[in-house]
Structure 1
Amino acid sequence: MGTKSDKSDASPAQAASPQSGAAKINGAGSTFVYPCMTKWASEYNKKTGLQVNYQSIGSSGGINQVRQNTTDFGATDTPMNAEQMKETNNEILHIPVVMGAVAVTYNVAGVDKPLKLSGQTIADIYLGKIKKWNDAAIAKTNDGVKLPETDIVTVQRADGSGTTGVFSDFLSKVSPEWKEKVGTGLSLKWPTQGVASKGNEGVAGSVQRTANSIGYVEVVYAQQNKMAVAEIQNAAGEFVTPSVDSVSKAAADLKEIPDDLRLSITNAAAPGAYPIAGITWALARRKIANPESAKAVKDFLAFALGDEAQGMVATLNYSKLGGDLLKKARDKAALIE
């Protein structure tokens, strides 16, 4: 589908990193996209010999490293804000590469089928208003489920996180109180003390170890660890499981795509859409000082946006880009020089 991507997929890229001078490039950021980025890096290395080293340090870290020019590319699940863009003279490109779901997971003994939760209920849990698992708001959407009269333990990210950005963006859309008191961001002032954990891996581990806990992770981490995952009520009133298909339906609801490609797909109105869905962006400087590094980053991102690499993501429970969003992402990556 895209001649630029096809050409890049077929052409070996031997590039020197500005940091090391070796035939590799360095990336850092989102833990959300780490399983996917690892797969792409492995496949690209087999094709080209280029080594792609990606550090799973969180979206805030990825943004900071690109802004400080200490990595070749970054990755984030929440776009840079207007102030950050202004500070870098808008020279950092946001290039969508894949989509995924933030799963709400929990560890409640005796609950043997997926809980159904509304966004308002989740917001109220993290606001500290709903304190017990057998609260009327939870019971209302889980008829027939025996809920224990135990305190809810919230688990949240300790580091700056795009997963938190997607999660809080959704809650801000469905809960006016959350929007006013907490808001949206990679790092939040959490109303509940809870258990603070680093990375998606850390949150998943904390939920597994902590009885009566609730947390949020990229769905791949929940599935790999065989964790309980809630069905979340969407804008159409349906309770939806996070999946490749339900995330794709959220993106299909897009009406307009801004030129800078910074957009949100949470709380989509389409039937069947999973409401806590997000995009991961690669971040790259439009002008990279080292020509070999520029070519290497450009070629790797062209590969990631090519039909072959996009075709790999469903096996990892991510959703591929499509339509205008994919075309615009390819066009944006082609601007790197």
Structure 2
Amino acid sequence: MKISRFAQLGAVAAVASLALAGCASNEGGASSGGSSEAPAGASSLTGTLVGGGASSQEVAVQAWTQGLQTANPDLTIDYDPSGSGTGRESFQAGAVQFAGSDRAFKVDEITAGPFDGCADGSDLVELPTYISPIAVVFNLEGIDSLNLDATTLAKIFAGQITTWNDPAIAALNSGVSLPATAITPVHRSDKSGTTGNFTDYLGKTAPDVWTAGSVEEWPALGGEAAQGTSGVISAVEGGQGTIGYADASRAGNLGTVAIQVGSDFVSYSPEAAAAIVDASPEEEGRAATDIAIKLDRTSTEAGVYPIVLVSYLIGCAEYKDAATAELVKGFFTYAASEEGQDAAASAAGSAPISDTLREQVTTAIEAIK
């Protein structure tokens, strides 16, 4: 992980931000989410914080909400898992105070602005606090797992491979008795960061087949459409021969695909998801508080899972309303803390961020005002 652009913030800020992350219970002083010197259970955050966006991190947000509200009983956090695109639009319009998104705002989107809840001239705070593999899930009687390479997977979702016993699938799954069942690909009907990440993988690894590139709205390639993560999972569960993509926390008992990386097939796991993030650089040309990861989908390093979702918490570096800034800062602090990351991992199966990334994230949080 590249951290050179954060060095300019100085060792003092880094130490302060690490102390901020340690205050997981947000007790005591309000401006930073709390002081560990306050009595246990003391309430410091009060009011209502409203967010919305990525359904992928809904379970993690619920875990963060529960942990923070337990320590701050006068705090209410409302999060609408309306999808990444809706979340970003609502945040930009000032309809929510923070957004969850399966991608960061693009630089030209930030430049175009405006962001109604932010003070004039404010940078954005974009924090990669939720890291999870995107599972390719299927429902095929008697089969729990399959191996697929990028080209075959792209052909399935492009409608070029239409039955499960197709020779391309069979060649990758020696010894598996594949039926002649028709394949029904299921995709998101809504604008989705999960779709953006999934199609980014297809476009980077099988560009001759998947010509639509990285898109958050599914192109007109057939298949079945479903609303949100829950809708995709329900459609795959309710069919036979269905295949879809969703945050791995929602895979449940469905069959799952191991993806070819180099000469190996890698199953999704939090560890494999964290490995691809740590092996990828950050995007350039962004503010110090804007930590956007440029995922290397084509990596052949051992043990990495390339279909990964990095979901962001997004806020203002400076809010028009100081009380809003206090609540956002407290919530972001808990989400990035070791306690908050462990709570999300336990609830959602996500990969806790590394200590190096936590230092960057908490330094960015310290800048919120």
Relative to the length of structure 1, the TM-score reads: 0.91
- Match of 1:116, SS? strand
The Cα shift of 1:8 comes to 6.1
For 1:12 and 1:203, the matched residues in 2 are separated by 43
Q: Which residue of 1 aligns with 2:268?
A: 242
Find 1:264's aligned residue among 294, 303, 306. Answer: 294
Q: What residue ranges of structure 2 are gaps of 5+ in the alignment?
A: 1-14, 32-45, 115-121
- Match of 1:115, SS? strand
Deviations 1:281-301 (A, max 9, x none): 011122211111111101110
Query: In structure 2, do the counterparts of structure 1 residues 172 and 308 end up closer, same or farther at CA, with 3 Å as the change threshold?
Result: same
The Cα shift of 1:13 comes to 7.7
The Cα shift of 1:73 comes to 0.2
The 5-angstrom pairing of residues 1-337 of structure 1 reads 2-7=18-23, 9-11=25-27, 23-49=47-73, 50-88=75-113, 91-111=123-143, 113-178=144-209, 181-191=211-221, 193-223=222-252, 226-234=253-261, 236-256=262-282, 258=284, 259=286, 260-265=290-295, 266-315=297-346, 316-337=348-369
Deviations 1:295-325 (A, max 9, x none): 1101110111112111223212100111432
Query: In structure 2, do the counterparts of structure 1 residues 185 and 13 end up closer, same or farther at CA, with 3 Å as the change threshold?
Result: farther
The Cα shift of 1:251 comes to 1.9
CA contact (8 A) 1:103 1:219 kept: yes
For 1:264 and 1:134, the matched residues in 2 are separated by 36
Deviates more, 1:322-331 or 1:256-265: 256-265
Deviations 1:172-195 (A, max 9, x none): 11111245x21102113142x211
For 1:42 and 1:137, the matched residues in 2 are separated by 46
For 1:313 and 1:267, the matched residues in 2 are separated by 27
CA contact (8 A) 1:78 1:186 kept: no
The Cα shift of 1:96 comes to 1.3
RMSD: 2.0
* Aligned-partner residue type, residue 237 of structure 1: S
- Match of 2:306, SS? coil
Structure 1 runs (4+) greater than 4 angstroms displaced? 12-15, 255-259
The Cα shift of 1:149 comes to 1.3
Q: State the number of aligned residues.
A: 325
Q: Which residue of 2 aligns with 1:18?
A: none
CA contact (8 A) 1:267 1:276 kept: no
- Match of 2:104, SS? coil
Q: Which residue of 2 aligns with 1:19?
A: none
- Match of 1:299, SS? helix
For 1:36 and 1:75, the matched residues in 2 are separated by 11
For 1:274 and 1:253, the matched residues in 2 are separated by 11
Query: In structure 2, do the counterparts of structure 1 residues 178 and 52 end up closer, same or farther at CA, with 3 Å as the change threshold?
Result: farther
The Cα shift of 1:256 comes to 4.9
For 2:146 and 2:66, the matched residues in 1 are separated by 37
CA contact (8 A) 2:24 2:340 kept: no
* Aligned-partner residue type, residue 196 of structure 1: A
CA contact (8 A) 1:264 1:278 kept: no
Q: Give the greater-gyration-radius structure (CA).
A: 2
The Cα shift of 1:9 comes to 3.7
For 1:279 and 1:222, the matched residues in 2 are separated by 17
For 1:163 and 1:195, the matched residues in 2 are separated by 16
- Match of 1:177, SS? coil
- Match of 2:145, SS? coil
CA contact (8 A) 1:73 1:297 kept: yes
- Match of 1:133, SS? coil
CA contact (8 A) 2:189 2:218 kept: no
For 1:186 and 1:333, the matched residues in 2 are separated by 28
